[in-house]
Amino acid sequence: MYIFSMTKQYFLSLILIMSISTTGFCQNQDEDALIIKDIHNYTLTEAQCYDWLTHLTTECKGRLAGSANAEKAVQYTKQMMDTMGFTKTWLQPCSVKKWNRGKPEQVHIKYDGKKVQLNALALGNSIGTPEEGILAEVVEVKSLDEVEKLGREGIEGKIVFYNRQMDPTQLRTFNAYGGAVDQRVWGASKAAEYGGLASIVRSMTLRQDDYPHTGTLVYKEDIPQVPGLAISTNDANMLSALLQKQKVMMSVWTNCAPGEEAISYNVIGEITGSEYPDEIIVVGGHLDAWDVGGGAHDDGAGCVHSLQVIHSLKGIGYTPKHTIRCVMFMNEENGLAGGREYARVSNENGEFHLAALESDAGGFVPRGFSFDADAEVLKPFYAKVSKWLPLLESYGLYFTTGGSGADISPLKSQKGLLIGLRPDSQRYFDYHHTTIDQIDVVNKRELELGAAAMASLIYLIDKYGLK
């Protein structure tokens, strides 16, 4: 009975899709509501995204750009796309710089004759320590500015411990991350500028636990490079409490090293538009993930969201008028080579991206979308999409302006609309860049609802355009 009613419903939708005029929005609102309901029904009953993510996070885990598992992820998603009915699929080469963690990090603190091991991970792009490691006194700071204030006198010959926590009062945890992550990104260079020997950063999470969070650091030019690592928040609290009372020595040994340049790929599938083949709508996520985890929420979820958008639109029998591309971007985590190369080639080919939607904030329950564009086009674009809000509010989806996604940001110069999926953010930094970002912390329905939300918006953009 259930199967029958679904089939009948899709049949009705198909009739509606074929019969709807394209002249206006208001008159079609009921039909659009029905199609958006169909997208959700189909996705919540027929979606394959959770199975795909299971494969990606187990068979292609730790898929940092240039690694063997990144290559496996490229092959897997390409093969998947080849079964999904795209007009064409291809691999777009991009040059990435490898980085290898090497053997497990060893970080200990020494005080009162004790030696205590800390939960640590080297930061991505970091150089390793000398073979004999680094042994030095720890100095705690709460900001890059504080390093400058302490100056060479306070920093030289020491290991700098950055311990400003993410602000728990920020409702959107990405804002809390944004307010603390400068320590991770620039901490090593700032320490080195004043003679520091290494930087140790409190992990970027609101939880108090034992998991260290890796993530990229960036070395400033013309400043000596020193190693950078993250320690867990529990260890950061413990170390900070110790430092209130006494001098603490730390030994750091890492084996990591930047590697050679390598060729990797963006994986692209295209459904050529039936009416506006030269106006492209991209939906994507990034395929690479930090080496230590499964890359489930970051950003396997975004990849399978994007594939599911195509699967769901196909599933309800929708034929897009615009060209829709599904892109698995490579190297978001430590270089953005894929996003840059995609935009470079697109510009070279004189393409126009009407819209690009990225999912790179996890597979949690969707709360809405953020819209971004060059100032002169954002206002009319946003006015247009805002008219669609009544169709999506009943799914708990809301609109805001703001950043979209790193991989699609280089497309901004084409003057299209950039869009970010906004899932609920509360749990994202519990797992971000850790060993525990695995399939078991992704809820199947929450993942599916994200894909359904994206497919619904893509449907509206495709049907009505943005003008």
Burial class (CB in 10 A: 0-12, 13-18, 19+), 375: exposed
Binding region for a copy of itself (CB under 8 A) out of 104-112, 129-137, 166-174, 288-296: 166-174
41 counts as binding a copy of itself under rule CB under 8 A? yes
- Binding mask of the shown chain, residues 320 to 359, with x at each position contacting a copy of itself by CB under 8 A: ----------------------------------------
Query: Which DSSP letter does residue 209 get?
Result: S
Give the one residue of 108, 272, 444, 465 binding a copy of itself; rule: CB under 8 A: 444
8 counts as binding a copy of itself under rule CB under 8 A? no
Backbone dihedral angles phi then psi of residue 52, each to the nearest 5 degrees: -60, -45
Looking from the CA of 150 toward its CB, the CA atoms found within 13 Å total 23
Q: Shortest approach of a copy of itself to residue 451 CB, angstroms?
A: 14
Number of residues near a copy of itself (by CB under 8 A) = 26
Output the CA torsion sign for 239, 240, 245, 250. Answer: positive
Looking from the CA of 358 toward its CB, the CA atoms found within 13 Å total 25
Q: Cα separations (Å) of 255 from 100, 126, 439?
A: 8, 10, 28
Binding region for a copy of itself (CB under 8 A) out of 83-91, 228-236, 313-321, 392-400: 392-400
Ranges of beta strands (E only) in 142-185 are 159-162
179 counts as binding a copy of itself under rule CB under 8 A? no
Output the CA torsion sign for 25, 279, 342, 221. Answer: negative
Which residues are CB-contacts of 440 (< 8 A; sequence separation ≥ 6)?
Answer: none
Site for a copy of itself in 96-155 (CB under 8 A): 142
427 counts as binding a copy of itself under rule CB under 8 A? yes
Binding region for a copy of itself (CB under 8 A) out of 11-19, 40-48, 185-193, 320-328: 40-48
237 counts as binding a copy of itself under rule CB under 8 A? no
Binding region for a copy of itself (CB under 8 A) out of 39-47, 91-99, 377-385, 402-410: 39-47
Give the one residue of 449, 453, 460, 461 binding a copy of itself; rule: CB under 8 A: 449
Neighbours of 206 (CB within 10 A): 19
Contact residues: a copy of itself, CB under 8 A: 1, 40-41, 44-45, 142, 168-169, 171, 173, 206-207, 365, 367, 394-396, 424, 426-427, 430, 443-446, 449
